[in-house]
Amino acid sequence: MATLKQVAKLAGVDSSTVSRVVNNDPSLSIKLETRERILKAIEELNYSPNLAARNLKKKETKILGLAINNFFNPVMASIIHGAELRANKEGYNLLVYSSEHSQSKIINSLVDRHIDGLLISSLTFEEEDILKLNDKNLPIVSVNRKVLGMKNYVVVNDMQGAKLGVKHLIEFGHKKIAHISGPLYTSTAVERLMGYRTALNEGDIKFISEYVQESENSIDDGYIAMEHLLSLSNRPTAVFASSILIALGAMKAIQEEGLTIPNDISLVGFHDVYFAEAIFPRLTTVKMPLEEMGDKAIGKLIDIINKKDNGEGIIIPGERIISRDSVKRLV
Q: Check the CA dihedral 276-280-282-285 and report its sign.
A: negative
Residue 102: pLDDT over 70: yes
| Confidence (pLDDT) at 1 | 67
Residue 82: pLDDT over 90: yes
| Confidence (pLDDT) at 211 | 98
| Confidence (pLDDT) at 104 | 85
Could you please report the per-residue DSSP string of 167-224? Answer: HHHHHTT--SEEEEE--TTSHHHHHHHHHHHHHHHHTT----GGGEEE--SSHHHHHH
Domains of the chain, first to last: 4-49 (1.10.260.40), 63-156+290-316 (3.40.50.2300), 158-289 (3.40.50.2300)
- Average pLDDT (316-323) is 97
20-76 confidence digits (pLDDT tens): 887 777 677 888 888 889 989 888 888 876 654 555 455 678 999 999 998 888 999
Instruction: Choose among 146, 101, 138, 100: nearest CA to 121.
Output: 146
- Average pLDDT (156-184) is 98
Q: What is the pTM of this model?
A: 0.82
> Contact, 81 vs 294, CB < 8 A?
yes
114-130 confidence digits (pLDDT tens): 899 999 999 888 899 99
- Phi then psi for residue 184, to 5 deg, are -80, 10
239-282 confidence digits (pLDDT tens): 999 999 999 999 999 999 999 999 999 999 999 999 999 999 99
Q: What does the mean pLDDT of the chain come to?
A: 92
| Crossing angle for the helix pair 4-11 and 15-22, to the nearest 10 degrees | 110
| Confidence (pLDDT) at 52 | 47
